[in-house]
Structures are given as structure tokens and as C-alpha cells.
Chain A
Amino acid sequence: MNFKSLDRCIEMTTKNNNYPNNKIKVWDILLRIFHWSLVLFVLILFLTEDDYLWIHSYAGYTVLLLIGFRLVWGFIGTTYARFSNFIATPKEALTYLKEELSGDAKRYIGHNPAGAVMIVILIITLLLTGFTGMATIATEGKGPLATTFIASFSGDLLGEIHEFFTTIVLLLVILHIMGVIFSSFAEEENLVKAMFTGKKENRKIYSNNKRSQDIKK
């Protein structure tokens, strides 16, 4: 018997028998509300892209503001909401993904490295999308950038750039959902439910990655 499967046995026993109701708080209430609000407003954005452009603009401003909140909360928020807890390099993300595929990824209480990278890319892309959107309407004399130099650019070009970024957002969202589902299976934990309740299972697993702050055996 190799040590990997022995560890798994111990983990399964511990999880199911000894601590059936033991949960730890991971995602605070503001973070969860932020996350699902973002989902809602991004959905509204995609639904109102052609008609209903007033709704589209205001939903866009809201998304930018929500990201503003997340940036602040990333510095003053609860443990697992802070960027210092989870920010990872692309290399760490790739390592994590490879481990996931081979079945021995470490379980992170907060965001895993792949999720961390996704968050950063998604934030940047959403900001770019929002700003190119504001730039586009500025060329028509509308919105907060209408009185700046941006208003003199080509509206059609900016519109195309804006649309390009929205495609990227769509791809990222699809990847994100796939990643969450995949990680849920790999870690044997319902991560979507965790983003609603904020709680994850309290597992006695040893992980030597200080960022994961897993509970040591």
C-alpha cells in the first residue's frame, strides 16, 4: 500500500465519522454578496447588450463599483478574502492544475492558485471592458468620460474593442464555472454551496503550503 491511498483513507474516515458537522467559516457575508451580485449584474450586461442600453450602462457602472469594493475588501477584509491569502503566480496555478489532474492536489481552504489567477484576470478584464464601454459612449457625448480627450476617439473602434473584451469575459466565466466544478470533484466538496453558506468542511489534512492555512494533523 502506498502512502497516498493511506492518507486518503485517513482523510475519508476523519471527514465522515469524527467531524460530521464541523464546519469552518471561510467566505464572509460581504464577500458572498459581492460574488453573487457580480454574477447577477454580469448576466444583466449580457442580456441588455443590444437593446436597453440605459440598463446596460448602469449595470456596467455597478460592476465597476463592485470591483472597487472587492479591491478594498481584498486589503481590509476577513482572512480568506484578502489578496495576501491567495494571490498566486501562474506557475503555481499550473502546478495546482497538474496535481488536480493526477488526483493529488492539495486542498486549500481559501482560493486555490488556479482560482486566484482567475480572479486577477477576471478583475482586470472586467475593468477593461467597463472602461472601453465608458469610452465608447463618451464618443457620443455620453457618460462620465464624455468631457475628456477620450471623446475624440473613434466610437466604432472603441465599440469593437469593448465587444472583444466582452467575449473574453464570457470565456473566462465558462472556464471559471468549469474550474469550480472540477475542483469540487477533486476536493470532494461542494464549492458552489460553500460560496452560498460561506462554510467549508473542517478537515484534518496536512498541507505544507503556508498560504492554504490548512489545519495540521
Chain B
Amino acid sequence: MNKLRWIIGTTMLGSILAFGLINVVVYAEKAINKPLQKPSLVYNNECSECHLAYPAGFLPAKSWDKILSTLDNHFDENAELDEDTTLLIKTYLDQHAMRNGFFNRLMRNFPTGSTPIRITKLPFFLRKHDEITERWVEKNPEIGSFSQCDKCHQSASRGDFDEDNIRIPGNNRDWND
């Protein structure tokens, strides 16, 4: 009985730790090596005239589809493209779109049924920018609208929105939380 408990205990603890450590390491490695944003030349060319080509992962596929199918009235502009180009962009965006609610916190608190088309109105976005005043963005002649991410987020084109790379034009200081 004395030896038995050590066999049982060691087997249990050993296998649990192996399970835990291996999984954590495997998923940590995946997370670290995840590419920031796989670029698409077509998407970048066609869709960055007025604003940066937003990372595909910021909206779910159904949102991109909706936007692409209504390009003739794209936020009060006509942004229509020919069929082939539109299809190319749609394929790219769908492939890299936000996968599903849980493992992407951008969609947290968003009513599940609807199809958002404004990244800047996602609850996650609003929460992250709740300390940014109108004066800094809308009334700032160098920016004008929250849709101009790359005006403040210096590495936005790489898909990197890290806090360390923010500089708000018109402010000399770097953004410090």
C-alpha cells in the first residue's frame, strides 16, 4: 500500500503536468508565431485610398460580404469595383476574417444576430478608445475621424495596434495609459 500510493500519485501528477506544460508550450508557440496580417496586394491597392486597408480580422466574414455587396453606397461614397476584383477581395477578406465570437474578443458584447459594418462602433473598439476625446480625433484637422486608424497607430499597416506605437498628431507626447 505504501509503494502503491507513490505509483498512483506520481503517475497522476506526472501525466497532469505533462498535459499542462506541453499544451501551454504548443499554444504559446502558435500565438507568438502568428503572423500579424497576411497582406493582399489587391485589397491594399483598391481599399486604401481614403482610409487604411483594415485588417481582415477586425470584422466577421458576413460583415465584409455586406460591405462588398454595397460598394455603390460605401458610407456615402461610390466605391464600386469590377466583378473580378470584388471577388478577389471578398475571397481574401473572408479567409482572414474574424473567426467566431469567443476566441476573438473584438466581438465581445456585440449582439449576435446583427452584421456590424463599422469597426469603430464595435463595443471592443469603443471601450479601447473611451478616453480619446473629440478634440483629439474628430476636431483634429490632421485626423478627422476614427476611421483613420493609421494617423495615430503608427504601425497599423502591419496590423500592429500595440499601445507602444501610438502617437496622436497635434500632441507632442506619446500615448501613455
Contacts and interface: CB of A to CB of B under 8 A. Distances in A.
Nearest to B104: A53
A59 B21 CA distance: 8
B30 interface: yes
A33 B5 contact: no
Indicate the member of B24, B28, B100, B103 with the most A CB atoms within 10 Å: B24
A41 B103 contact: no
Contacts of B109: 156
Nearest to B9: A30
How large, as a class, is the contact surface on chain B? 20 to 34
A41 B25 CA distance: 12
Interface stretch (B11-19, B50-58, B67-75, B163-171): B11-19
Chain A interface secondary structure, helix, strand, loop or mixed?
Answer: helix
A210 B23 CA distance: 44
A140 B100 contact: yes
B102 A142 contact: yes
Indicate the member of B5, B16, B100 with the most A CB atoms within 10 Å: B16
A128 B56 CA distance: 36
Contact of A76 (B9, B20, B30): B9
B8 interface: yes
Contact of B5 (A37, A54, A76): A76
Interface residues of A, number: 29
Contact of B101 (A41, A50, A55, A140): A140
Interface string A9-27: 0000000000000000000
Interface string A45-76: 00000111111001101100110110011001
B41 interface: no
Contact of A62 (B9, B20, B28): B20
Contacts of A140: 100-102
A182 B16 CA distance: 32
Given A55-B28, A55-B31, A140-B101, A77 B9 contact: yes
B10 interface: yes
Contacts of B6: 30
B100 to A, nearest CB: 7
11 contacts: A51-B31, A52-B31, A54-B31, A54-B103, A55-B27, A55-B28, A59-B20, A62-B19, A66-B20, A69-B12, A77-B9
Interface of B: 5-6, 8-10, 12-13, 16-17, 19-20, 23-24, 27-28, 30-31, 100-103, 105, 109
Interface of A: 30, 33-34, 37, 41, 44, 50-55, 58-59, 61-62, 65-66, 68-69, 72-73, 76-77, 137, 140, 142, 155-156
